[in-house]
Amino acid sequence: MVSLEKDASLQVDPAGALRKSFVSTDAALVITEMNYMTSGCTCVAVYVRDTKLYVANVGDSRAVMAYKPLLNAVESSSSSASVELPLVAKNLSRDHKPDDPIEMERIVRMGGFVCPPQEEGLSARVYLDPDFTMIGLAMGRSIGDHAVKSVGVIADPEVLEFDVDPADQFMIMASDGVWEFISSQEAVDIVSKNLQEGAPAACQALIEEAASRWRDFEGDYRDDVRHNTEQCMQPLYNVMMMMMTVWFCIIQ
């Protein structure tokens, strides 16, 4: 069993420990009953230590921070009343789509083939053959999907570091089921508008909007949607997480 929490290197090298946990999890799939050759998942994880965020991502899950913008000196002096500016979204991770230049360069160099989106709204895909008939994975990185590991689809996460700022209000972590038809800023707007009703209501509002857009664009097909909530452990920050294809919303 892979345990990031028990990894002694987590305290001295958080980024390295996160990378090792992703890669080790991917390798451990071969001793499970999972069909690891053609099944896999995207994953985003955020490790918070003191005032640092370590964001590890594989695939097209995404972590987004909502922060409160500051008024500049001119705006502050010219306004006698308190001005509440809308929260602004800041991406904490990069989507690993196959046609992303970094992902595509590696895939092509290792003998894979990237098929561009066949129509607007669809994703580029990774294939084993130039005729685009074998596999067709819509991510450049994943945990699992070993059938395309030989052509550059890796489980090694991209790990980015950020300083926690007093202006940060909450964080959203979600799978591509949310981001398929909702932008980062739209997600922040939806959560911000509903957060006064409580974190579960804000989660539900985002889930319902995502499901509605799936119906509008894809008819009856959409990713499975469920959510859980837990009590806030850090009162200074509202952290909302929606993970994997089955979404879990966790307030920490």
Count Cα neighbours of 103 within 13 Å in the Cβ-side half-sphere: 29
Alpha-carbon span 200 to 186, nearest angstrom: 18
Does residue 182 sit in the same domain as residue 88?
Answer: yes
DSSP 59: S
Strand partners, 47: 54
pLDDT digits (tens, 9 = 90+) for 120-142: 778 899 999 999 999 999 999 99
Q: Which domain holds residue 49?
A: 8-70+84-101+156-251
Question: Edge-to-edge strand order for the sheet containing 168-174?
Answer: 88-91, 62-67, 168-174, 238-242, 249-251
Examine residue 35 and state whether it is found in any structural domain, yes or no: yes
pLDDT digits (tens, 9 = 90+) for 20-78: 999 999 999 999 999 999 999 999 999 999 899 999 999 999 999 999 998 765 455 55
Does residue 32 sit in the same domain as residue 88?
Answer: yes
Q: How far is CA 246 from CA 143, 166, 179, in A?
A: 15, 31, 14
Helix 199-218 to helix 184-194 angle (10° resolution) is 140
pLDDT digits (tens, 9 = 90+) for 188-223: 999 999 988 888 888 888 888 988 888 887 776 555
Examine residue 234 and state whether it is found in any structural domain, yes or no: yes
Does residue 93 sit in the same domain as residue 200?
Answer: yes
Closest CA to 177 of 169, 168, 187: 187
In terms of Cβ atoms closer than 10 Å to its own Cβ (0-12, 13-18, 19+), residue 151 is buried
Dihedral of the alpha carbons of 145, 151, 154, 159, in degrees to the nearest 10: -140
Alpha-carbon span 191 to 206, nearest angstrom: 7
Examine residue 52 and state whether it is found in any structural domain, yes or no: yes
Residue type at 164 in one-letter notation: V
Examine residue 163 and state whether it is found in any structural domain, yes or no: yes
Does residue 96 sit in the same domain as residue 107?
Answer: no
Examine residue 149 and state whether it is found in any structural domain, yes or no: no
Query: The domain that contains 215 carries what CATH number?
Result: 3.60.40.10
Examine residue 147 and state whether it is found in any structural domain, yes or no: no
Whole-model pTM: value is 0.83
Residue type at 189 in one-letter notation: D
Examine residue 76 and state whether it is found in any structural domain, yes or no: no
The reported pLDDT for the residue numbered 72 is 64
164 and 234 Cβ atoms separated by less than 8 Å: no
Query: How many Å separate Cα 80 from the centre of its chain?
Result: 40
For residue 118 the two structure tokens come to 């066949």
Closest CA to 171 of 142, 202, 141: 202
Does residue 130 sit in the same domain as residue 166?
Answer: no
The reported pLDDT for the residue numbered 233 is 32
Q: What is the domain count for the chain?
A: 2
Cβ neighbours of residue 221 closer than 8 Å, sequence gap 6 or more: 214
Examine residue 79 and state whether it is found in any structural domain, yes or no: no
Query: How many Å separate Cα 66 from the centre of its chain?
Result: 14
- Given 114, 140, 166, the domain boundary residue is 140
